[in-house]
Chain A
Amino acid sequence: MQESPRRRPGSRKKIFFGCLATGVCTGVVASFLIDIWALHPTNFQTPNQSNIVAEPDTVDNPLQDLQLEQVIDVDSPTWKRLNLATFLEAKSNAQLVELLEESKTEPSDNTTEWVEAAILGELARKDPHEALAQLQRFPSHRRSDLVFTVFAEWSFLDLDDALSAANGLESKLRTSATASILSRRSDLSKADIESYATAYGFEAYAQQYFAKKQVLQLLDRPQEAFELVLSDAIHDSIQQPMLNLIASTWINREGPDAFKPLFGALLDLYSENYTAVGSVVAHIAKSDPQLAWKQMLSLPPLEQLSFHSTILRAWVIDDPRGALNALSEFNAPRKEYIRRNLLRIWAGEDPEELLDNLSNTAPEDRRYAIAYAIRELTRAGSVDSAIQYMNSLESRGEDTSEAKRLLVDSWSLDDPSSAVTWTLENTSDDLRQEILDDALPRLALVDPSFAVRVAGDQPLAESSYSRFNSAEVQIVKNLANNGQFDNALASLKKLRTENRALAAGEIGVALIDFNRPAEAVSLAQQFLPESEWEEYFGRLGQMWILINPAQFSANIAKFPNPSLRATGAEVLLREHDRSGVLTKEEAKQLKTFMISAQEE
């Protein structure tokens, strides 16, 4: 009797664990049965149900009761996609809109954007108008992709409706929608598309689409596809991307063996369109420049010269030392020019890295390497850093004259006053004048008085050629060419006498260019002594013939004296004899000026 209570807990344990075991079995069996019922819905479903789901099928969708996060919580991208599509398929329009609303509270990342696109796609399958309305609520940068999704579905539901809706969209979205419809409805014939294009006003796009489709169909035969693109049948706007695509595909298909025929095809194209050739070579070299280089070396030497610099330019972006080493071992004319070009690209990519690698740069290239790097630092807004680098290099004995020139050249684009002031304080006499000749015309556009003052302090050039290129004349020319005629004329008065006639000629030419002939004619009398009129009108006439010979002819009568009129008429008639720039009446009228001058 006393043992009984001691046994009782053991018996209770037995009962408990017995029941627990039974429960576990029951739980497993029940779950299994539920699972069987849930996972074989097709037994209860009509096959080939319509793709337009009016009401959600919530009965047999195995994912219906899960949360969206659970549905996509699988590693496999395929199953993630399939699960999400299956899950959304069972949702009503209202539920889909609700899901879209919920997604907007999620942080925007790739997954959220991908889910939103899927929801919108499913909504488009059920109610494309609603999907389009929802699309407008997305940020503008995403609409182009999303509109593609919506219209891909819509195109199968009601093509006319889809095209009509696409037609109502703004330009960029309309293009995207039309592209989506045409690419999705590959079953449409050319005639169908043409008639839709006429009805909905996308003829130009349709032509592009046909051309592109034609090439894509030939992509398995890249040589033929290439020839097709080169024939003039292909729309200009898609020619380059198509050539790039064919070249990539060619290499994907045939590996290194593709290069020989590809280079051959490009050589045929070279004389006609070397820009396109360069673009294709840059495109293929981008993914594997070493391979492209190696294959190019197997071409005859002269043919290599059509490709070598383009491959190196693509190579230098990611591997400057590799590209420069390859060039050093290559036998080509004008290697110096190519090498500097590569240094320029390297500087554009990473100026500091280039400066850190100066010790590996050939001595004759160093000052250019420094200059290119300094220019890039300046363009990036780091003028102080550029100057610091430059001073430090100068203190180590490097030649920084070219760097100073490029520093001011770039700096003066944004801040000409500071650039000029720095030049005055930090450059030697000979270098200063050269730099100022370039910088002062820019300064003139923001501070003409300062520019003229500084220019006037520079030594006067001796030859008329040098004087024409001097800062004083170029300041006035730049002001006039930019339409600042008041400033140009004010500056003209402050120039040294020797430069005035040349500068006046440039104002006159600009006045003709800006269709102000009367002012051009009267300028000489207002600003120049009579002894300089002939030179002035000579320059004016030279350009006037090119710009507007008829207007020149009509204005000769206003020239200040018969001799100038006769000279102008003679110059113009000579040009007329050569290329027929005048009407018979105009030519006849001009001859009278020559006769009058002779009579006088």
Chain B
Amino acid sequence: MPMPLKQSKRDLSNRTRNAILGAAGLLLGACIGGLTYFLLVGYGNVLNLGDSSAKNSPNRGAEGALAAKSVFEESMKDSEPLVSFQELRNGLQELDVNELLPLVEQSAAIENSAAIAELQSLLLGELARLDPVEALNTIWSFPSVQWNDLLVVVFGEWSIVDLDQAVRSAMSLNGPARETAVQAILAKQEDLSNPALLRVTSEEGIDQAVVEQVRAGEAMALIDQPRLAWNLLLHDDVSNKHQTELLIQVAEEWMRQDGVEVVGLLYNELCRRDNEFYLKDWGLFESILASAVEHEPQRVFDFVLTMQVEDQQELAPSLLSLWSQRDPREAFAATAKIESALLRARVESLVTMNWANKDSRDLLNNIAQLPRNSRKSAVSSAIGNLAQDTPMEALEWIRTLQHVTDAVDEETEHLLVQVWSRSDPVSAMEWVRSNTASDSTKRARMIQWALREYALVNPEKALSAALEEVPHRWHGMTGLESLVIDSLAGPRNVDKAIEMLPRVRESAVGASYYAVGYALVQFNRWDDALALAENLTSDKQLEYFTRIVPAWGPFNIKELIDRFPLLPSEEIRSATARSILSNTWMDFELTEDQTAYLKTFEESEPTTASEQ
């Protein structure tokens, strides 16, 4: 018995052990199974089911894809933000390249709407993950205004899938797009010292872009201590011109922490003017000043007034110019605090100019409130603006302001005619002729502005009008017709000017031929320029050739030298040669042979250029 009992106990114990062992095996198996599933499939599914191989599997449910497409299509119809990210997430898991592509294209056709920008970005991002080349090609079908944002999405994704290819592809883009793409790639790199990144950027010659990114990261890590961040950025191995936005951001934070007095420190550091008038970083400083002025103009201005006068002279004009673009009245009122009368006058003029640009009528309504010595320049700015579109209104204002001391004078009317002539020369011409006495100085001066522009719309009438005007000392020795010819001597009308040359009076011949000849040379019509002189007397020819020498300029002087034998006389060749050789300010850059060749004309009969 002991044996069976012992056997039985042993059997029982074995069964129990077997059961425990089995249960343990089952449990362990279940754990292993679950874990394996989770690792192989589940975790990937939970976080990201967008495995491209699975997506391209033929066994994938067509129904799922269809449903997913409809989720996106519905979202695109909606002008409101995304309904549910979870739905989109589920949907995106179902779509492969072939299904994503039409959706992306469909979204590109929708008129730019910020509400679906997120959706577009998700679709394109997924397409970029699966097929970055296709995604990049798709970008160009979106409106241009979205390109930069979409390049960031595609290259951000691409750099994760295939860094080398992403960088190389970015480098094949046009300049500005390339810059955006490279930035997008670098922004997605968790480790900017990654050897693969350093290798490919070095191979493509953009290693400096990595350095810039690293320095930006270092500075931003110190943004809570902006003075340190500023010094780091200013003295690092990256050009300030490539870090402008970052420097402005740090400066803004610095001003937020320490007040507008920081403007003074930055001014000293960036652009205090030395005796060479060297302002290294004025552009950067002005951007920082603009940021400060945008938010606290009065405080910044009050601070500037505490600085040395010479610094005020640098800063106050920029500051008030920026301020007056936003609020000219406030800015003008502030100018009264400036102690120096000379500086005050300078900035008042700047402010009223901006005031006129912003609202000419408002400025004109307030002229009487301005100090006497500011009025004329303020009125000129406003009238100059109004005269472009509403000259009659400008004229009316001039009449109204006659009653305000020091507001208008004859120059104001001249300015009106000058501006008016540019926008409507016919009316301006008519007004001058009907509102001024024919022999008056006023008429003589005004008609010049009008004629110059009138010639461009009606050359024949302009020339007739010029010839009909009563001679006046203001017309100069050459009369008004040379002014008409000069005005016509542009690329479009130079042939018309040539046609009209025989009609000019003797006194205007020299100036008129010079104007046309100079233009012909400028338009590379060298032979025509030479032929033009055939109509002139020999003394006028001499004047003509020597005067138009500068027209050949540094680049084309060779053309004149080559044509030297064609010049009408020895005297003219000699005078022209002297004119070229002595004209040092034109920087003709003659070769030694050319110089030697010209020198032969200075006193003796020349040989030809080719013989040289």
Contacts and interface: CB of A to CB of B under 8 A. Distances in A.
Interface of A: 8, 11-12, 15-32, 35, 38-42, 47-49, 51, 57, 60-63, 66, 70-71, 73-79, 81-83, 85-86, 89-90, 108, 110, 125, 139-141, 152-153, 156, 170-172, 175, 183-187, 204, 216-217, 219-220, 222, 232, 236-237, 248-249, 251-253, 255-256, 284, 286-288, 291-292, 300-302, 317-318, 331-335, 344, 348-349, 375, 379-380, 406, 409-410, 413-414, 438, 445, 478, 481-483, 512-515, 546-550, 579-581, 583
A49 B87 CA distance: 10
Contacts of B406: 580-581
B371 to A, nearest CB: 10
B309 A483 contact: yes
Nearest 3 pairs of A and B residues by beta carbon? A23-B29, A27-B33, A78-B125
A292 to B, nearest CB: 8
A76 B325 contact: no
B280 A49 contact: no
A471 to B, nearest CB: 13
B34 A31 contact: yes
Which has the most chain B C-beta neighbours within 10 Å: A237, A255, A333, A410? A333
B26 A482 contact: no
Given A76-B129, A140-B256, 9 more contacts: A39-B90, A77-B188, A83-B47, A108-B221, A252-B173, A301-B555, A331-B554, A375-B274, A583-B405
Contacts of A172: 294-295
B80 A156 contact: yes
9 contacts: A16-B21, A22-B26, A27-B31, A28-B36, A251-B174, A287-B175, A409-B274, A483-B339, A550-B373
Contacts of B340: 513-514
A18 B25 contact: yes
Interface in B295-344: 295-296, 308-310, 325-326, 339-342
B235 A380 contact: yes
Contacts of A288: 174-175, 178
B555 A331 contact: yes
B160 A76 contact: yes
A108 B222 CA distance: 10
A31 B37 contact: yes
Contacts of A248: 175-176
Contacts of B128: 78
Interface class of chain A by DSSP: helix
B81 A26 contact: no
Contacts of B126: 78-79
B157 A78 contact: yes
B249 interface: yes
Interface stretch (B143-151, B439-447, B454-462): B143-151
Interface in B127-185: 128-129, 143-145, 147, 153, 156-157, 160, 173-179
A16 B177 contact: no
Given A76-B157, A86-B86, A20 B25 contact: yes
Contacts of A27: 29-37
A580 B128 CA distance: 73
Contacts of A110: 187, 217
Contact of A481 (B294, B310, B587): B310
Contacts of A15: 18, 21-22, 25
A89 B221 contact: no
A12 B242 CA distance: 73
Contacts of B79: 187
B26 A26 contact: yes
Which has the most chain B C-beta neighbours within 10 Å: A20, A171, A249? A20
B83 interface: yes
A345 to B, nearest CB: 9
Which has the most chain B C-beta neighbours within 10 Å: A22, A24, A300, A514? A24
B373 A548 contact: yes
Nearest to A350: B237
B174 A255 contact: yes
Interface string B170-206: 0001111111000000011000000000000000000
A220 B88 contact: no
Given A51-B80, A514-B339, A86 B85 contact: yes
Interface string B359-371: 0000000000000
Contact of A141 (B241, B253, B294, B310): B253
Given A31-B38, A156-B81, A139 B224 contact: yes
Which has the most chain A C-beta neighbours within 10 Å: B33, B122, B126? B33
B409 interface: yes
A48 B341 CA distance: 69
B115 to A, nearest CB: 7
B33 A31 contact: yes
Interface in B47-85: 47-50, 67, 74, 79-85
Which has the most chain A C-beta neighbours within 10 Å: B37, B122, B221? B37
B126 to A, nearest CB: 5
B208 interface: yes
Given A25-B33, A236-B357, A379-B280, A19 B23 contact: yes
A302 B33 contact: no
A32 B40 CA distance: 11
Contacts of B67: 42
Nearest to B40: A28
B106 interface: no
Given A156-B80, A302-B522, A219 B357 contact: no
Contact of A70 (B24, B47, B239, B388): B47
Nearest to A413: B272
A48 B83 contact: yes
A445 B129 contact: no
A76 B48 contact: yes
Contacts of A410: 274
Nearest to B88: A82
Contacts of A42: 67, 87, 90
Contacts of A153: 81
A333 B554 contact: yes
Nearest to B276: A409
Contacts of A31: 33-34, 37-38, 42
Contacts of A232: 388
Contacts of A335: 587
A515 B341 contact: yes
Nearest to A291: B175
Contact of B179 (A18, A287, A413): A287
A186 B113 contact: yes
Interface in B493-524: 522, 524
B25 A19 contact: yes
B208 A82 contact: no
A172 B406 CA distance: 41
Contacts of B272: 413
Contacts of B280: 348, 379
Contact of B26 (A19, A217, A348): A19
B535 interface: no
B470 interface: no
B144 A253 contact: yes
Contact of A24 (B32, B113, B345): B32
Given A28-B37, A348-B280, A51 B81 contact: yes
B323 to A, nearest CB: 12
A287 B143 CA distance: 22
A82 B341 contact: no
B45 interface: yes
B22 A74 contact: no
B534 interface: no
B21 to A, nearest CB: 5
A80 to B, nearest CB: 9
B609 interface: no
B399 interface: no
A438 B278 CA distance: 14
Contacts of B112: 186
Interface string B83-97: 111111110100000
Interface string B372-389: 110000000000000010
